Amino acid sequence: MLAVAPALAACSPEAAAPAHADAPVIVPGAPGQAGSPPGRATVRTGPVAADVQFAEAMIPHHRQALEMAGLVAARTGDPLVTALAERVLDGQRPEIEVMESWLRRLGRTPPPAHQHGASGYGMASEEELNRLRTARGPAFDRLFLTLMIRHHEGAVSMAAQELRRGRDRAMRTMAQDVVSGQQIEIARMRAIQRRPG
């Protein structure tokens, strides 16, 4: 994972105090008593390190999904697998663009195209990708579905971490979209795997 602390100085909650941060917080007293302002409000806003880590890890993760999905058209005759791959391509390309633009607005350079990201979170190894590249027909379909289910499960896990630790509204919305969308696709892939024959 790339170090993110230096670039976050400008986007930390402390550095991005909102205009209404001087407003008092009224703490209610007992019934019949007046409330009292204990001091200045502390409001957490803006991106935190977890948001940046999520975007910088999810971009290469999505890129690998695009690479795997891009192999499908020339290697399968199964229309359900083809349709699934098209949904991956149509869904994850724009998500990459959103995350790259978000990082640039923070003054950060998105991960370069050749960067494959850290292992884990369902990422396929180079050996597994080579096996996928050389497979054809039903053998390709079985391997593709196995690798893509694991890959999606990893993305859901990453997104769940963002929802627990992140603060940026755009990245949290992205994470929620990943969780909901990829869980649906996992169910579809498992249904394809369970087909008879």
Q: Which CATH class is domain 44-193?
A: mainly alpha
Span of 15-19, 62-66, 91-95, 110-114 with lowest mean pLDDT:
15-19
Distances from the Cα of 54 to the Cα of 34, 113, 172, 190, 192, angstroms: 44, 17, 10, 26, 30
Q: Please say if the pLDDT value at position 25 is more than 70.
A: no
Do residues 88 and 69 touch, judged by C-beta distance below 8 A? Answer: yes
Contact 55, 161 (CB under 8 A): no
To the nearest whole number, what is the mean pLDDT of the chain? Answer: 83
141, pLDDT greater than 50: yes
